Amino acid sequence: MLEPSRCPGDTVQREPTLNTRDPLTQILKQKTSPDARRYAHYEIEQLIHLWRKDGDPTSLSAQFYPIRVVALLETFTRAWIRVMVDESRTMAQHAIRLVDHLKPDYQLILGVTARTVTFGDIVAHAVSVSNLGHIMSHFQILCDCELRTLLATAADESQLEVEGEESRPIIADFDEVCAHVFETL
């Protein structure tokens, strides 16, 4: 919410300040940060490099790597939810199930009508991404499909087209990967 910034007896009108607890302000702040869809892979590769360079998993800096990975996963998830909802009317209709518990926030409604935020921004901001079950559930609702089966069997088609080899699943052991992500979150 915009609030005028005045001191008692001040005759000069200052620029309005944003209330940082306001959901509209939080969404706008997220929109100005780098696009997580593009940078998440690079950031994770950098963390792996630093982890290997550090060499001591008990060091103080090593304790922050999991925190950074979780932050990247959260940001990446929210970025893709926003894009999927904004780019597909069908997914936007499915997204209603993710936010039907929200009370109307008239600042957000004004933000949508002023085109400063989108429905995808609101959905991405409102969902919980604190564990792998939440993340999988959100994408399953948006895609209206059995996501686990799709992810476990997704194959790299370029192996067949470019290399002439039979395509294999991208994720060799889906359950093991899920277990590691679950531990991290």
Cβ distance 135 to 151 under 8 Å?
no
**What CA dihedral angle connects 168, 133, 93 and 75, to 10 degrees?**
-80
Q: Confirm whether 2 is domain-assigned.
A: no
- Please tell me the distance from the alpha carbon of residue 144 to that of residue 112, in angstroms, as a whole number: 25
Q: Taking residues 156-167, what's their average pLDDT?
A: 73
Pairwise pLDDT comparison (2 vs 47), residue with the higher score = 47
Question: Would you state the pLDDT for residue 82?
Answer: 92
- Please tell me the distance from the alpha carbon of residue 151 to that of residue 161, in angstroms, as a whole number: 20
Q: Confirm whether 156 is domain-assigned.
A: no
Q: Taking residues 167-180, what's their average pLDDT?
A: 86
Cβ distance 142 to 84 under 8 Å?
yes
Q: Confirm whether 41 is domain-assigned.
A: yes
- Please tell me the distance from the alpha carbon of residue 179 to that of residue 97, in angstroms, as a whole number: 27
Q: Confirm whether 158 is domain-assigned.
A: no
Question: Would you state the pLDDT for residue 16?
Answer: 40
Number of domains in the chain: 1
Question: Would you state the pLDDT for residue 99?
Answer: 92
Question: Would you state the pLDDT for residue 184?
Answer: 73
Q: Confirm whether 21 is domain-assigned.
A: yes
Answer whether residue 172 shows pLDDT above 70.
yes
Q: Confirm whether 129 is domain-assigned.
A: no
Q: Confirm whether 100 is domain-assigned.
A: no
pLDDT in tens, 97-145: 999 988 877 777 777 777 778 899 889 989 999 888 899 999 999 999 8
pLDDT in tens, 16-71: 444 456 666 666 666 656 565 566 677 778 888 887 887 777 777 777 878 888 88
- Domain enclosing residue 48, as ranges: 16-91+105-124
What is the overall mean pLDDT for the chain? 77
Q: Confirm whether 141 is domain-assigned.
A: no
Pairwise pLDDT comparison (129 vs 162), residue with the higher score = 129
